[in-house]
């Protein structure tokens, strides 16, 4: 799981990008990158401030982008029309869509 974490140090808030995962059966931070103060991040997004020497690419918005594509193409409704079920819990189309997004982000064995 990836997330943006604020940390208060000496009364100031700094932001970090961190990636979490399972290590030896426990949830642990795997990777952490310092992003800076909120003002610095805003300046960098607007093109102001200093130019970075390198860039890291994250998949932070990938699940949302894939889900919007599923909704735009009406995948859930099409699957539900072909495979109806009782109105209880998630529908068949929702289950398949969630599995497809999961498979697109991090393909792994289903065993």
What DSSP string describes 98-109?
HHHHHHHHS---
Does 111 map to a domain?
Answer: no
**Residue 45: its H or E element:** helix 38-46
**Count: domains in the chain:** 2
Q: Are residues 5 and 47 part of one domain?
A: yes
Backbone angles phi, psi at 105, to 5 degrees: -80, -50
Q: Are residues 38 and 13 part of one domain?
A: yes
Rounded Cα distance, 5 and 14, in Å: 8
Query: What does the pLDDT look like over 32-56, one tens digit per residue?
Result: 988 889 888 888 778 787 777 777 7
Q: Are residues 65 and 53 part of one domain?
A: no
Domain interval for residue 11: 1-59
**Token pair of 78, please?**
């099409």
Q: Are residues 41 and 4 part of one domain?
A: yes
pTM: 0.51
Query: What does the pLDDT look like over 60-101, one tens digit per residue?
Result: 788 889 999 999 999 999 999 999 888 889 999 999 999 999
Q: Are residues 68 and 35 part of one domain?
A: no
Residue 111 has pLDDT above 70, yes or no: no
Contacts of 28 (CB under 8 A, 6+ apart): 20, 21, 22
């Amino acid at each position: 799981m990836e997330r943006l974490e604020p940390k208060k140090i000496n009364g100031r808030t700094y932001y970090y990008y961190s990636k979490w995962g399972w290590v030896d059966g426990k949830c642990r931070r795997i990777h952490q990158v310092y992003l800076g103060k909120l003002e610095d991040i805003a300046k960098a997004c607007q093109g102001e401030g200093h130019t970075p020497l390198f860039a890291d690419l994250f998949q932070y918005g990938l699940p949302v982008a894939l889900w919007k594509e599923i909704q735009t193409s009406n995948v859930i409704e099409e699957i539900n029309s072909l495979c109806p079920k009782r109105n209880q819990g998630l529908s068949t189309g929702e289950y398949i869509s969630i599995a497809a997004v999961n498979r697109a982000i991090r393909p792994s064995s289903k065993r």
